[in-house]
Amino acid sequence: MAAGPSLAVWKFASCDGCQLTLLDCEDDLLEVAGAVRISSFLEASSAVVDGPYDISLVEGSITTEADAARIREVRAASKTLVTIGACATGGGVQALRNFADVEEYLSIVYAQPQFIDTLDRVTPIADHVPVDLELRGCPVTRAQLLEVLAALLAGRRPVLPSSSVCEECKRAGNPCVLVAHGTPCLGPVTHAGCGALCPSYHRGCYGCFGPHDSARPGPLVPLLRAVGSSDPRIVDLLRTFNVHDGSVVSP
Amino acid sequence: MTHRSPPSRTVRVDALSRVEGEGGLDVQIEDGRVSGVQLRIYEPPRFFEAFLRGRHHTEPPDITARICGICPVAYQMSACLAIEDACGVRVDGPLHELRRLLYFGEWIESHGLHVYLLHAPDFMGYPSAIDMAEDHPDLVRRGLAMKKVGNDLLELIGGRAVHPVNVRVGGFYRLPTAAELAPMRERLLVGLDAALETVAWVAGFDFPDLEHHHPYVALEQPDDYAVLGGRIRSTAGLDVPVADFDRAIEETQVPWSTALHAHLLDGDHYLVGPLARFALNRERLHPAALAAAATAGLTGPCRNPFQSIVVRAVELVHAFASAVDVIDAYERPDRPAVDVPARAGVGHGATEAPRGLLYHRYELADDGTILDARIVPPTSQNQSAIEHDLFDFIDDRLADHDDVALAAGIEALVRSYDPCISCATHFLDVRVDRTGSGAP
Ligand code: SF4
Ligand code: SF4
């Protein structure tokens, strides 16, 4: 077992895609495993070491009372807590239920809703405990995950992009899908990090990295209307993967 | 293992490790016999079917992918087939072949992960693949390298490995060029060799005795080891079109799980996944995979769940070899997608996710708005069969195993189904218990 800092990976309501991204770092996995002590990573190992942990990576959002209590324990046992992905950082796709009536959802899904423990609202980790670093994306990128681990190991601040997808897209030299093909695209209001993946695959950005810090959907809305998007569709587009409250999405 | 156990006790495995998602297990023992087994799934529900209502018919591939980060392509593909069915469109020819190629990338990634990182450590006696790598670095590297070929194939066609961005109802957004696929072909051939070595390696493991007799259920097609669509068949004689899924299978809720349990209508539990596909479709495997299965001693249905690791390795051979064939035959279509104009209707779609049959059903309004959605993932279908197998496995071993040994064996058995608990908890259907209103 390596001697380095201890690492724990925690899961809340999520799809496992972000922690899988860590296992997907095939070329670097054994190297990472050599540099840190993986102390708790249930998806990868049946060996669990008690805390405290130097680094906790947290995937998923808070949807139950039990999880709200568990994240406080995780926080208390962790020196540095990093949220990984849209669920942990912004609520994730399951936060769509914040716009609906949970009782009704339960009855659509379950015959006996009384067995199901669930909160009315889905909330990101930072609504419950202080978070040291937030990684965005649904899923996070391997490069950002490795950069964060490398930076924490070296005791420096990680270098993460802060611009918008639109800027990444222009830098990549892609033709603009919105202007050239009339395809609805959230690039101008979406946080950078994916390298403008969708436009390079000839489709519009659907916002999986969440709103850019200074995102104002205001100016984008007339452009989306001009290419034929109806207002209800624009609202859907703006709030699928990262919005747990209504603030950013009134066209 | 000579420890005498008290006659009545409860064995509890709190958090299952090396499974996707969160679950645990309770076993009750009375008078020295097992009296109950509950696979507890406490992964919080995420209500996908509920919030799909009101969304547009073009959105389920991206939204339902988020049900599971390990098999997003399966969700995307079942969603596409169901929506295309509702709209009366069939996607075939080269676009269908490209979908198969993308899907093989997911089988390779998912089976590679399960065989090497999740399941093999049980047979080799390690708590994780990372610990296993300290003694057997070349083995683990071989697994990681295969998995990486799967991921790279997903990335090449889909844009990224988890939640690919290049899938849409009707086809794709951007088609790969033959020149982009050529280097992938060479890497798939290297992966094929590694998969053949994997079959030989895992076939030599020491498998605990266990034989189960549940009906196996899988998709079947006349001339392929079915992945995308087909008829729903079982080893007990079921043979229906996908549109009859509802009439063949029903789901019910149990108090200890946020995942619904599925049963055949005659009340029998059943199993989907690699063992089921292999039992029903073995002769349609790629010849390379069929030969590998034979050398591993698998010449007919395999009924020991622990041996599913061998079948997964055989399916890895199939996926690598078939992916090479798709690339060899690839001619870039003129358009990346066919049009799928919205219309009112109901559509059904089923595909073979790495863990087994995954069914989607959508009801659309004439403008494409989703009125109702139903998703039945493989793990919720398998829960009941898993509980039955655990019951038998534990009952056989109670007398001469202490709780620690028992719990380790139980966990290994649960892992052999590769349960995906994230997948299992978002199902749902109005039908199960509403009387009169809203039932499809
Ligand atoms: S952010 Fe996306 S990829 Fe990550 S766990 Fe949540 S749903 Fe999965
Ligand atoms: S372009 Fe937008 S939707 Fe696509 S990966 Fe990047 S942030 Fe996500």
Q: Which of the residues B66, B374, B413 would you substitute to probe the A interface, choosing the one with the greatest number of A C-beta atoms within 10 Å? A: B66
Q: Which secondary structure element, helix H or strand E, spans residue B26, and what is its range?
A: strand B23-30
Who lines ligand 2 at CB under 6 A? A 165, 190, 194, 196-198, 205-209; B 165
Residue A113 has pLDDT above 70, yes or no: no
Q: Which two tokens stand for residue B290?
A: 């069929």
Atom of ligand 1 nearest to the CA of A93: 7
Q: What pLDDT band is residue B258 in, cutting at 50, 70 and 90?
A: low
Nearest by CB to B130, from A24, A45, A93: name it: A45
**Binary contact (B50, A100; C-beta < 8 A):** yes
Interface of B with A in 152-191 (CB under 8 A): 159-163, 165-166, 168, 173-174
Q: What's the pLDDT at B51?
A: 83
Q: What pLDDT band is residue A23 in, cutting at 50, 70 and 90?
A: confident
Residue B440 has pLDDT above 70, yes or no: no
Is A138 near ligand 1, meaning CB less than 6 Å away? yes
Residue A119 has pLDDT above 90, yes or no: no
Q: Which secondary structure element, helix H or strand E, spans residue B11, and what is its range?
A: strand B9-13
Residue range(s) occupied by CATH 1.10.645.10 in chain B? 48-376
In single-letter form, the type of residue at position A167 comes to: E
Burial class (CB in 10 A: 0-12, 13-18, 19+), B344: middle
Angle at B351 between CA B160 and CA B179, to 5 degrees: 40
Minimum distance, in Å, between the CA of residue B145 and any CA atom of chain A: 7
Is A15 near ligand 1, meaning CB less than 6 Å away? yes
User: Does B199 or B11 have the greater pLDDT score?
Assistant: B199
Q: Which two tokens stand for residue B346?
A: 């109901």
Residue B32 has pLDDT above 90, yes or no: no
Residue B11 has pLDDT above 60, yes or no: no
Q: What is the 3-state secondary structure (H, E, C) of B232-299?
A: EEECCCCEEEHHHHHHHEEEECCCCECCCEEEECCCCCCECCHHHHHHHHHHHCCHHHHHHHHHCCCC
Q: What's the pLDDT at B4?
A: 42
Q: What's the pLDDT at B122?
A: 87
Task: Determine phi and psi for A61, rounding to 5 degrees.
Answer: -110, 170
Q: What's the pLDDT at B432?
A: 18
Residue A249 has pLDDT above 60, yes or no: no
Instruction: Choose the weakest-confidence range: A99-103, B72-76, B205-209.
Output: A99-103
CA B44 / ligand 2 centre spacing (Å) = 26
CA distance B227 to B315: 11
Task: Determine phi and psi for A83, rounding to 5 degrees.
Answer: -85, 135
Residue range B239-253: mean pLDDT, rounded: 85
Nearest by CB to A23, from B50, B117, B160: name it: B117
Q: What's the pLDDT at A40?
A: 64
CA distance A205 to A201: 10
Residue range B394-406: mean pLDDT, rounded: 79
CA A186 / ligand 2 centre spacing (Å) = 8
Q: What pLDDT band is residue B179 in, cutting at 50, 70 and 90?
A: very high
In terms of average pLDDT, the best of A66-75, B154-163, B250-259 is B154-163
Instruction: Choose the weakest-confidence range: A23-32, A109-118, B171-180, B195-204.
Output: A109-118
- Name all domains of chain A by residue range, CATH numbers in brackets: 6-154 (3.40.50.700), 165-245 (no CATH)
Nearest by CB to A20, from B69, B141, B411: name it: B69
Q: What's the pLDDT at A2?
A: 45
Atom of ligand 1 nearest to the CA of A94: 7
Q: What is the 3-state secondary structure (H, E, C) of chain A?
A: CCCCCEEEEEECECCCHHHHHHHCCHHHHHHHHHHCEEEECCCCECCCCCCCEEEEEEECEECCHHHHHHHHHHHHCEEEEEEECHHHHHCCHHHHHHHCCHHHHHHHHCCCHHHCCCCCCCECHHHCCCCCEEECCCCCCHHHHHHHHHHHHHCCCCCCCCCEHHHHHHHCCCCCHHHHHCCCCCHHHEECCCCCHHHHCCCCCCCCCCECCCCCCCCHHHHHHHCCCCHHHHHHHHCCCCCCCCCCCCC
Contact A64, B44 (CB under 8 A): yes
Q: What's the pLDDT at B430?
A: 17
Residue range A151-171: mean pLDDT, rounded: 91
Q: Closest Cα partner for A62 from A133, A152, A125, A140?
A: A125
**Binary contact (B66, A108; C-beta < 8 A):** no
The answer as to CATH 1.10.645.10 being correct for domain B48-376 is yes
C-alpha distances (whole Å) from A184 to each of A179, A237, B256, B357 are 9, 9, 44, 34
Above pLDDT 70, what percent of chain B?
Answer: 86
In single-letter form, the type of residue at position B66 comes to: R
Instruction: Choose the weakest-confidence range: A96-105, A137-146, B259-268, B275-284.
Output: A96-105
Do you know the residue count of chain A? 251
Q: What's the pLDDT at B22?
A: 58
Q: What's the pLDDT at A247?
A: 47
Residue A4 has pLDDT above 90, yes or no: no
Q: Which two tokens stand for residue B427?
A: 């199902």
Task: List CB contacts of B92: < 8 A, sequence separation 6 or more.
Answer: none
Q: What's the pLDDT at A248?
A: 46
Closest residue in B to A15 (Cα) is B68
User: Does B282 or B268 have the greater pLDDT score?
Assistant: B282
**Binary contact (B17, A43; C-beta < 8 A):** yes
The answer to whether the bond into A139 is cis (omega within 30° of 0) is yes
Q: What pLDDT band is residue B398 in, cutting at 50, 70 and 90?
A: confident
Task: Write the DSSP assignment of B219-235 as a string of letters.
Answer: EEBTTB---B--EEEET
Report how many Cβ contacts below 8 Å link chain A to chain B. 186
Q: What pLDDT band is residue B249 in, cutting at 50, 70 and 90?
A: confident
Q: What is the 3-state secondary structure (H, E, C) of B48-117?
A: HHHHHCCCECCCHHHHHHCCCCCCHHHHHHHHHHHHHHHCCCCCCHHHHHHHHHHHHHHHHHHHHHHHHH
Q: What's the pLDDT at B407?
A: 75
Q: What's the pLDDT at B380?
A: 78
Mapping DSSP to helix (H, G, I), strand (E, B) and coil, where does residue B149 land?
A: helix
Q: What's the pLDDT at A58?
A: 95
**Count of C-beta atoms within a 10 Å radius of residue B203:** 19
Q: What pLDDT band is residue A198 in, cutting at 50, 70 and 90?
A: very high
Contacts of A64 in chain B (CB under 8 A): 44
Read off the pLDDT of residues A222-242 as tens digits, 9 standing for 90 and up. Answer: 888 999 888 888 888 888 887
* Look-up of token digits 């591939």: B61
Residue range B9-37: mean pLDDT, rounded: 67
Distance of CA B375 to the CA centre of its chain: 14
In single-letter form, the type of residue at position B191 comes to: G
Distance of CA B392 to the CA centre of its chain: 23
Q: Which two tokens stand for residue A44?
A: 């990868």
Q: What pLDDT band is residue B382 in, cutting at 50, 70 and 90?
A: confident
Q: Look up the pTM and report it.
A: 0.90
Read off the pLDDT of residues B110-147 as tens digits, 9 standing for 90 and up. Answer: 999 889 988 898 899 888 888 888 899 899 999 999 99
Q: What pLDDT band is residue B426 in, cutting at 50, 70 and 90?
A: very low
Average pLDDT, chain B: 86
Read off the pLDDT of residues A66-78 as tens digits, 9 standing for 90 and up. Answer: 889 989 999 999 9
